[in-house]
Each structure stands twice: as C-alpha cells, then as structure tokens.
Amino acid sequence: MYKYGILLFAVFAAISLSWNKSDFFAIKNIQFPDISDTSVCDKVFDGKYTDSNHITYISLGGASPGQKIRIIIKGKDRDNFPSPPEKLYTGKTVCVKGPVEMQDGQPSVVVKDPGQIIVQQ
C-alpha cells in the first residue's frame, strides 16, 4: 500500500510540474488570443509621447521597458484628454478598460477616450 501511495504522489507531482511548465511557456512567449474586454488596474510608472508617430505610451506595473502592460493613445485620440496623458496619470493608480492586444510584442490596451482610464483613490 505504501508503494502505491508513493507512486501516486510521483505521478501527480509529474503532472503538476508539466502543467506549470507549459503554463510558464505560454506566458513567457505570450501565446494568448486578444482579450476582447477587460479592466487592468496598476500604478502608472512613466509615459512618453513620440512626435514622429504621434503616439502616447503609458507604462503600468513597472517602468518602461519592463512594464507589465502599456496603454497606447494614438494620434488625434490624444486631443480627447484635458492635459497630456503621460503627465496626467504618472504616479497614480489607474484602471484601464478595453481589449488587451499585442502591439510591438507587448500586451497593450489601446485607449481612444479618457473614460476608459479611471484614477483610483
């Protein structure tokens, strides 16, 4: 009986380890479909506006380039904000709502309206 208990433990441990390993592989290589609608909440560490392509990048969960996820505001959508978004949200904890998609190999939420970003108290 003792042998069977050890055997079952070894089998379950092997299954658990292989499942965790494949999960890590999927996360590491970011092999997930676009998430259609979600809210992501975290601290804004930094942001920048690039004149060349008129895009604002805001980093959540860490400073760029090590952020967990980023907010992207494209072109004329920036005009919808009362002040430059990269300054407006830096240092604050926010929740951003929208589809999570891969942009330049990084998970991102493209924001078109300031209502998609809620500052937490």
In this prediction, residue 78 carries a pLDDT of 96
- Which residues, at least 6 apart from 10, have a Cβ–Cβ distance to it below 8 Å? none
Mean pLDDT of 27-39: 58
Tokens linked to 84: 């430059």
Rama region for 91: left / alpha / beta (φ>0; ψ in -120 to 50; rest): left
- Confidence label for 36 from pLDDT (cuts 50, 70 and 90): low
Could you tell me whether strands 69-74 and 106-110 are parallel, antiparallel, or unpaired per DSSP bridges?
parallel
Residue pLDDT, tens place only, 56-81:
999 999 999 999 999 999 999 999 99
In this prediction, residue 4 carries a pLDDT of 45
Query: Is domain 35-119 annotated with CATH 2.40.50.140?
Result: yes
Q: Please name which of 49, 86, 48, 45 lies closest in space to residue 67, comparing C-alpha atoms.
A: 45
